[in-house]
Amino acid sequence: MGIIDLFQQLANGLSLGSLYALVAIGYTMVYGIIRLINFAHGDIMMIGCYLAYFGVLMFHLPWQISWILAVSLTSLLGVSIYLGAYKPLRRAPRISALITAIGVSFLLESLGLVIFGGRPRAFPRPAILDIGINVGGVYMISFTLLIPLMTGLLLLGLIYLVYRTKIGMAMRAVATDIETTSLMGVDVDKVISFTFAVGSALAAAGGIMWAIKFPQINPYMGIMPGLKAFIAAVFGGIGNIFGAMLGGFLLGMIEILIVAFMPSIAGYRDAIAFSILVAVLLFKPTGLLGETLREKV
Amino acid sequence: MKRLWLLVIVGVIFSSFSVAWATDKIRIGVVLPMTGPVAAYGQMEWAGIQVAKELVPTILGKEVELVLVDSKGDKVEGANAVERLIKLEKVCAIIGEAISSVTMSGGAVAEQYGVPMISPTATNPLVTQGKKYIFRVCFIDPFQGQIAAKYAYETLKVRKVALVIDVQQDYCVGLANFFEENFKKLGGEIVAKAQYRTGDQDFTAQVTAVKAKEPDMIYIPGYYSEIALFTKQARELGVKSIVFSADGSYAPELIQIGGKAVEGIYFTNFYDQSAVATDIGKKFVESYRKRFGRDTDSFAALAAEAYFVLAHAINKAGEADPKKIRDALEGIKNFTGLMGEFGFDENHNAIRPVVIQTVKDGKFAYVGIVKP
């Protein structure tokens, strides 16, 4: 493998990794606040993609407006999922909420299948994001540059939201202790709804980026990204936003490098990547940046 | 009372007539999925058979009678349908089924009773393997891989090929292996092999690894979704090599998803109306348009070929005896079909011309035909 090829592979890895990171930060944030592994995250992402798709192709909206609309509508969807499916179970054992999340995931997939149909659709890529770039033999399209940029910006925005705003303070308080927080006069439901709104908006944003990179959408498209994002989040230390970002980047990079060095066994890249993650977690069960949770007394 | 007797007598006379009449006809069974999940295949093939019968209405000077039974695309229904055609309808031969699994379950019954059965479109190698009475007029994948290698080497003049294989699909692995074997035999070189799985979306690493070996052509005999994404990413990463695929490419989604990137991609397929070259082929296309008002498709064409070759075999056998028809079918080596001559190999698979298609101006287009 020549040096140019190596750089090309690193660029590929960076681009895939930042996409994983983008989906993973939404995933990890919801977990960080209410300790719920939201298995429906990938499917919320899929709905976001379809909304953006219909905005452009059915209502002939400019893509920017269609994207913003899709992200907003998806965050509303996230809130309604919380109110309908998770809120009634807030006091139930955590396993009930987990199973409900799986149920919501199947519901969204099946609804997608019924409403949108099973055949894949081609997601339109705006011309400005489809310009070929050649940097000394390393090829990419203009969109490739946008993903890390967007991931970075959303991460900064999220950090600001969680650590510098009043609602962020409430979110962190809920994360620490729901009972006590509500005793302090904080409307816990409102805070959690808000968390879901932000998480789903991030899912939709990640989904749209995903659909531009791989311009083919179908009702099952959320399963793999959801799984990858979950793994990235666990790898980085679930609940930790920086960790999710780091985990996403590493996962993307590992996958690409596996294929780069061993293209003839690339069909098993997921298996190999996941085995590496299992190995890491055996030595560091809380993930790379995770803190050891002490049992609350 | 008198009237009733009259009715009975007339009935008896009529039915004895019709029995005599029936023995004077050549009864051919047709088992196809007319309803159910793959009904579209059955409908298209039935349309082809009807037009074929219009063109060849008599065999051995006797009128042909087609007996259609719906298999619903179901294995059990298919086996029952074949049983009914043989035991009750007393057909001398059967055309069907459209899909491999039902052809296998129905074929087992036909094999047991010793009645020849010809499938238009069942491509799984197991359909005819080790069977005495089962034939097919489509080609199977090893053959498709072989022809792809021949076309790549001789017509496209490529020497260095990279294989990109979907390891999750037997179809793809098989095609790639047969391509490799034959391409090397011709003197070509496989410079790289990369794998992926059905449902993969990111191919940038495979593309980069393949690109480093500078192949003249990339052979990716998978399904349309992955081919579209792969080709799109390959073009984005500056790959100029020819992309070559197989019949799994043939879906409108390939072009919708792939857009400009899939322009100029080649693939092998069963049939293209532009490849029709023989008199019977031209007549078929014409009559089909007259009857249905549209162009022929590969299902209709292959079903028609099954009818034509069966008619030929019965004529050769000299009588409508299942055993003799089977022997006649086995001996067919160069029968004139729609696109040229074809025959059966020792496993009863058709050795037939392969069509090469491409994508041009956002549409599937005909390139040429490769004779075996």
> What pLDDT shows up at residue A35?
85
Sequence-distant (6+) residues with CB within 8 A of B160 are: B188, B189, B191, B213, B214, B215, B216, B217
Angstrom distance (rounded) from CA B190 to CA B172? 16
Please give the mean pLDDT across all residues of chain B: 90
Distance of CA B221 to the CA centre of its chain: 17
Would the CB atoms of B204 and A121 count as touching at under 8 Å? Answer: no
Inter-CA distances, B123 with A172, A213, B98, B101, B244, Å: 60, 35, 9, 10, 20
Torsion of CA B54, B60, B62, B68, to 10 degrees: -60
Q: Report pLDDT for A265.
A: 82
pLDDT score at B327: 95
List the single residue in B with minimal CA-CA distance to A259.
Answer: B205
- Range among A48-57, A144-153, B246-255 with highest mean pLDDT value: A48-57
pLDDT at B23: 60
**Is residue A222 very low, low, confident or very high in pLDDT (cuts 50, 70, 90)?**
very high
Per-residue model confidence as pLDDT tens digits over B60-81? 999 999 999 999 989 999 999 9
Task: For residue B265, give Cα distances in angstroms to A60, B22, B148, B272.
Answer: 31, 52, 13, 16
Q: What is the pLDDT of residues A228-246, one digit of tens each?
A: 999 999 888 888 888 999 9
The whole-number average pLDDT for the span A81-93 is 90
Judged by CB atoms closer than 8 Å, whether chains meet at B195 and A266 is answered as yes
CA dist., res. A205 & res. A144, Å (int): 15
Q: How confident is the model at residue B21 (pLDDT cuts 50, 70, 90)?
A: very low
pLDDT at B214 over 80: yes
* pLDDT score recorded for residue B20: 43
Closest CA to A109 of A50, A64, A169: A50
The yes/no answer to whether this complex scores an ipTM above 0.85 is no
Q: What Rg value do the Cα atoms of chain A yield, rounded?
A: 19
Helix (H/G/I), strand (E/B), else coil: B119: strand
Q: Does residue A278 have a pLDDT over 90?
A: no
pLDDT for residue B171: 82
Would the CB atoms of B205 and A141 count as touching at under 8 Å?
A: no
CA proximity to B46, closest of B29, B30, B35, B62: B30
* Residue-wise pLDDT tens digits, B297-323: 989 999 999 999 999 999 999 999 999
- DSSP classification of residue B198: T
Going through chain B in order, the beta strands assigned E by DSSP cover 26-32, 58-59, 62-70, 93-96, 117-119, 134-136, 160-166, 189-196, 217-219, 242-245, 266-269, 335-336, 341-344, 350-351, 354-360, 363-370
pTM of the model: 0.81
Question: Does the pLDDT value for residue B19 go beyond 50?
Answer: no
Q: Find the chain B residues whose C-beta atoms sit closer than 8 A to any C-beta of A.
A: 165-168, 192-197, 199, 201-202, 204-206, 208-212, 225, 228-229, 232, 236-238, 253, 256-257, 259
Of B208, B236, B257, the CB nearest to A216: B257
Distance CA B125, CA B349 (A): 8
Amino acid letter, B68 = L
Write the burial class of residue B290 (CB in 10 Å: 0-12 exposed, 13-18 middle, 19+ buried). exposed
Question: Of A135-139, A218-222, B174-178, B297-301, where does mean pLDDT reach its minimum?
Answer: A135-139
CB neighbour list of residue A189: distance below 8 Å, 6 or more residues apart: A87
**What is the rounded distance in angstroms from the CA atom of residue A148 to the CA atom of residue A170?**
29
Q: Do A255 and B202 touch (CB under 8 A)?
A: yes
Print burial letters for B186-205: b (CB count within 10 Å at least 16), e (below 16): eebebbbbbbbbeebbbbbb
- B9 falls in which pLDDT band (50, 70, 90)? low
Q: How many CB atoms lie within 10 A of CB A102?
A: 12
CA A229 – CA B148 distance, rounded (Å): 40
Residues β-bridged to residue B335: B342
pLDDT at residue A296 in the model: 47
The chain-wide mean pLDDT, for chain A, equals 89
Q: For position A292, what pLDDT does the model report? A: 63
> Which DSSP string corresponds to B128-155?
TTT-SSEEESS--HHHHHHHHHHHHHHT
Chain A residues with CB under 8 Å of a chain B CB are 1-2, 5, 8-9, 12-13, 15-16, 119-122, 132, 134, 139-141, 213-216, 224, 255-260, 263-268, 270
Is the alpha carbon torsion for A147, A150, A156, A160 positive or negative?
Answer: negative
Per-residue pLDDT, B59: 94
Six token digits for residue B276:
């029709």
Neighbours of A123 (CB within 10 A): 23
- Choice among B9-13, B68-72, B245-249 with the minimum mean pLDDT: B9-13
Average of pLDDT values for B333-342? 92
| Ordered DSSP codes for A110-168 | HHHHHHH-SS-EEPP--GGG--EEEETTEEEEHHHHHHHHHHHHHHHHHHHHHHHSHHH
Q: What is the average pLDDT across A117-122?
A: 84
What is the per-residue pLDDT across A162-178, written as a single tens digit (0 to 9) for each?
999 999 999 999 988 88
Q: What is the average per-residue pLDDT within B314-333?
A: 94
More confident residue, B206 or A118: B206
pLDDT at B3: 64
Least confident among A55-59, A263-267, B64-68, B202-206: A263-267
A chain contacts of residue B211, beta-carbon cutoff 8 Å: 5, 8
pLDDT at B105 over 70: yes
Q: In the structure, what pLDDT confidence band is assigned to residue A1 with cuts at 50, 70 and 90?
A: low
Model pLDDT, residue B4: 62
Cα A184 to chain centroid distance, Å, stands at 32
For the CA atoms of B331, B336, B337, B338, what is the dihedral angle to 10 degrees?
170
Instruction: Provide the shortest C-alpha distance from residue A185 to chain B (in Å).
Output: 48
